[in-house]
Amino acid sequence: MKYITKTVWVLSLVSLFTDTASEMLYPVLPIYLRTIGFSIVLIGILEGIAEATAGLSKGYFGKLSDNSGKRAPFVQIGYSLSAISKPMMALFVFPLWIFFARTIDRFGKGIRTGARDAILSDEATPATKGKIFGFHRSLDTLGAVLGPSLALLFLYFYPHQYKTLFFIAFIPGLIAVLTTLLIKDKNKPAQLVKKTTSFFSFLNYWKTSPLAYRKVVVGLLVFTLFNSSDVFLLLKAKQAGLDDTLVIGVYIFYNLVYALFSFPIGILADKIGLKKIFVFGLIVFAIVYFGMSYFSDLYSISALFFLYGIYAAATEGISKAWISNISDKKDTATAIGTYSGFQSIFTMLASSIAGLIWFNFGASATFIISGFVTVLVVLYFSFFVNLNKQPNIEL
Give 227-239 pLDDT, tens digit per residue. Answer: 877 878 887 888 7
Residue 188 has what pLDDT? 57
Residue 212 belongs to some domain of the structure: yes
18 has pLDDT over 90:
yes
Helix, coil or strand: residue 37: coil
pLDDT tier at 385 (50, 70, 90 boundaries)? confident
Per DSSP, the residues of 242-289 read --HHHHHHHHHHHHHHHHHHHHHHHHHHHHH-HHHHHHHHHHHHHHHH
What is the average per-residue pLDDT within 335-345?
Answer: 83
Contact 305, 233 (CB under 8 A): yes
Quick one: pLDDT band at residue 198, thresholds 50, 70, 90? Answer: low
End-to-end CA separation in angstroms for the chain: 20
Residue 204 CB contacts under 8 Å (≥ 6 apart), including other chains = none
Q: Which residues contact 326 (CB under 8 A, 6 or more apart)?
A: 210, 212, 213, 216, 387, 390, 393
Distance of CA 177 to the CA centre of its chain: 19
Residue 75, pLDDT score: 94
Is the pLDDT score of 20 beyond 90?
A: yes
pLDDT level of residue 393 (50, 70, 90 thresholds): very low
Flag whether 291 is in a domain.
yes
Examine the pLDDT at 95 and tell me if it is beyond 90: no
Assess whether pLDDT exceeds 90 at residue 306: yes
For the chain, what percent of residues have pLDDT higher than 90? Answer: 36
Percent of the chain exceeding pLDDT 70 equals: 90
Per-residue confidence band for 196, with pLDDT thresholds at 50, 70 and 90: low
In a domain, 195, yes or no: no
Compute φ and ψ for 304, nearest 5 degrees. -70, -35
Question: Helices 211-225 and 298-325 sit at what angle, rounded to 10 degrees?
Answer: 160
The answer to whether the beta carbons of residues 368 and 295 sit under 8 Å apart is no
- The per-type count for the chain, helices as H runs and strands as E runs, is 15, 0
**pLDDT (0 to 100) of residue 41:** 63
DSSP 307-360: HHHHHHHHHHHHHHHHHHHSS-GGGHHHHHHHHHHHHHHHHHHHHHHHHHHHHH
CB 138 within 8 A of CB 263: yes
For residue 394, the model assigns a pLDDT of 39
Q: How far apart are CA 98 and CA 93, in angstroms?
A: 6
pLDDT at residue number 52: 72
Q: What is the pLDDT of residues 105-117, one digit of tens each?
A: 888 988 998 899 8
pLDDT at 390 over 50: no
- The single-letter DSSP state of residue 376 is H
CATH number at residue 247: 1.20.1250.20
| pLDDT at residue 376 in the model | 96
236 sits in which H/E element? helix 230-239
Higher pLDDT, 366 or 235: 366
Domain with 134, as residue range(s), is 6-184+202-389
Distance CA 55, CA 349 (A): 12
DSSP state of 241: T
Mean pLDDT, the chain, whole residue set: 84
Is 1 domain-assigned? no
For residue 189, is it within any domain?
no
pLDDT of residue 289 exceeding 60? yes
- Look at residue 68 in the predicted model and tell me its pLDDT: 85
In this prediction, residue 187 has a pLDDT band, given cuts at 50, 70 and 90, of: low
pTM flag (> 0.85): no
Mean pLDDT value of segment 60-87: 90
Number of domains within the chain: 1
Of 344, 68, 322, whose CA–CA distance to 210 is shortest? Answer: 322
Q: What does the pLDDT average to over 192-219?
A: 74
> What pLDDT is stored for residue 249 in this prediction?
84
- DSSP secondary structure code for residue 390 in this structure: S
Q: Using CA atoms, how far apart are residues 115 and 302, in angstroms rounded to an integer?
A: 36
